Amino acid sequence: MLIVLDARKLVAIDLVFLGAKVIIVEFAIGILFSAALGVFVLLRGHGSLVQVVLGLYLISIGINYVPMLIYAIAITKANSARAELGSELDNKGAAMAKYRRQSLWLLVPLSVPVIVITQTRRPHVNDPTVG
Q: Rounded distance, CA 110 to CA 101, Å?
A: 17
Instruction: Please check whether residue 124 lies inside any domain of the structure.
Output: no
Tally of structural domains, the chain: 1
Range with the poorest average pLDDT among 9-23, 35-49, 116-130: 116-130
pLDDT tens, residue by residue, 55-96? 999 999 999 999 999 999 999 999 999 999 999 888 888 888
For residue 89, give its domain range: 7-118
Instruction: Please check whether residue 104 lies inside any domain of the structure.
Output: yes
Instruction: Please check whether residue 108 lies inside any domain of the structure.
Output: yes
The pTM (predicted TM-score) of the whole model is 0.85
How far is Cα of residue 65 from the mean position of the Cα atoms in its chain? 5
Long-range contacts of 115-118 (CB under 8 A, 24+ apart): 115/4, 115/5, 115/7, 116/7, 116/67
Instruction: Please check whether residue 93 lies inside any domain of the structure.
Output: yes
